[in-house]
């Protein structure tokens, strides 16, 4: 299991909660002693154009620091996907998040759709045909859903349930019905009991990670990776991410 990380992810590039000082450090403190860190390169413009329009890219370019870090975040997701394809489970400890970024618009602390770019790149390079994207963030990833809504080979799934056991069981039921060459996870931790959603425990995140691991080993030759989306309580964020990584690895 490798963690894709770049020191620039610590930069406070905006005033939103995802960019808040100390957020990445709280995760890094928990995971860096246990997993190898790998440094990504920024995504290329051609990579970003796989899912975003020229207009949208130009709009983000006006915010120079945000643009640079967003390219690194997309590059981190690409690196995580490449590691997964080589047989190494990976997690993109990246920011800005991405699942609210559509082809020509964005909101919700997102700028480029990291997970969508990484899957699109694998597909255009002929490395995969079918993919599953599991999103357990508190919020629906409308951007990811929009991007792949007309691509039947890419299944995006976001769960909505107010009962924690039903939520976890729902993931298991969904995965039991899927077939894919790789599974990617939009891993948002704002559904935690001490975060905005107030639902999932630290142990639940480990269980979800195990379900992803078991699916990948059963269906797609172990190819699995995740990327960070939400999660805003710094006191517990690192522990929840570590639990998920323990499960998925």
What are the domain boundaries of the chain? 2-248
Beta-bridge partners for 116 = none
Distance (Å, whole) CA 214 – CA 200: 20
* Per-residue confidence (pLDDT) for residue 95, from 0 to 100: 98
Fold classification of 2-248 (topology level): 3.40.800
Q: Which residues contact 88 (CB under 8 A, 6 or more apart)?
A: 1, 2
* Per-residue confidence (pLDDT) for residue 169, from 0 to 100: 98
Distance (Å, whole) CA 100 – CA 173: 25
| 211 three-class SS | helix
Q: Are 68 and 35 in contact (CB under 8 A)?
A: no
**Mean pLDDT of successive 10-residue stretches along the chain, which has 249 residues:** 98 98 98 98 98 98 98 99 97 98 98 99 98 98 98 96 96 98 98 98 98 98 98 98 98
DSSP letter (8 states) at residue 7: G
Residue whose token pair is 């643009």: 67
Beta-bridge partners for 187 = 228
* Per-residue confidence (pLDDT) for residue 175, from 0 to 100: 98
The interaxial angle of helices 202-219 and 234-248, nearest 10 deg, is 30
**Helix and strand element counts for the chain (H, E):** 9, 7
Residue whose token pair is 């120079």: 64
* Per-residue confidence (pLDDT) for residue 52, from 0 to 100: 98
Find the length of the chain. 249
pTM > 0.95? yes
* Per-residue confidence (pLDDT) for residue 17, from 0 to 100: 98
| Alpha carbons within 13 A on the beta-carbon side of 112 | 39
* Per-residue confidence (pLDDT) for residue 182, from 0 to 100: 98
Strand order from edge to edge, sheet including 154-158: 36-38, 2-4, 90-92, 224-228, 182-187, 131-135, 154-158
100: annotated active-site residue: yes
Active-site entry in 100, 139, 157, 158 = 100
C-alpha distances in Å from residue 94, one per residue of 3, 216, 223: 10, 22, 19
Distance (Å, whole) CA 166 – CA 105: 33
* Per-residue confidence (pLDDT) for residue 249, from 0 to 100: 96
* Per-residue confidence (pLDDT) for residue 88, from 0 to 100: 97
């Amino acid at each position: 299991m490798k963690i894709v990380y770049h020191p620039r992810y610590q930069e406070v590039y905006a005033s939103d909660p995802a960019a808040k000082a100390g957020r990445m450090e709280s995760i890094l403190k928990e995971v860096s002693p246990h997993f190898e860190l790998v440094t990504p390169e920024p995504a290329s413009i051609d990579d970003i154009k796989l899912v975003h329009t020229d207009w949208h890219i130009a709009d983000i370019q006006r915010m120079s620091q945000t643009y640079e870090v967003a390219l690194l975040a997309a590059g981190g997701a690409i690196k995580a996907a490449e590691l997964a394809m080589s047989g190494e489970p990976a997690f993109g400890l990246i920011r800005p998040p991405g699942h609210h970024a559509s082809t020509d618009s964005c909101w919700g602390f997102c700028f480029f759709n990291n997970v969508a770019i990484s899957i699109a790149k694998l597909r255009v390079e002929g490395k995969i045909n079918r993919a599953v994207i599991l999103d357990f963030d508190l919020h629906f990833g409308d951007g990811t859903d929009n991007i792949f809504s007309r691509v039947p080979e890419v299944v995006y799934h976001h769960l909505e349930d107010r009962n924690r056991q039903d939520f976890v069981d729902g993931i298991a039921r969904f995965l039991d019905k899927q077939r894919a060459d790789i599974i990617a996870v939009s891993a948002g931790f704002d559904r935690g009991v001490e975060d905005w959603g107030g639902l999932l425990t630290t142990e639940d995140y480990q269980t979800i990670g195990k379900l992803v691991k078991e699916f990948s080993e059963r269906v797609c030759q172990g190819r699995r990776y995740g990327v960070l989306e939400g999660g805003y309580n710094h006191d517990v964020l690192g522990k929840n991410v570590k639990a998920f990584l323990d499960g998925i690895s």
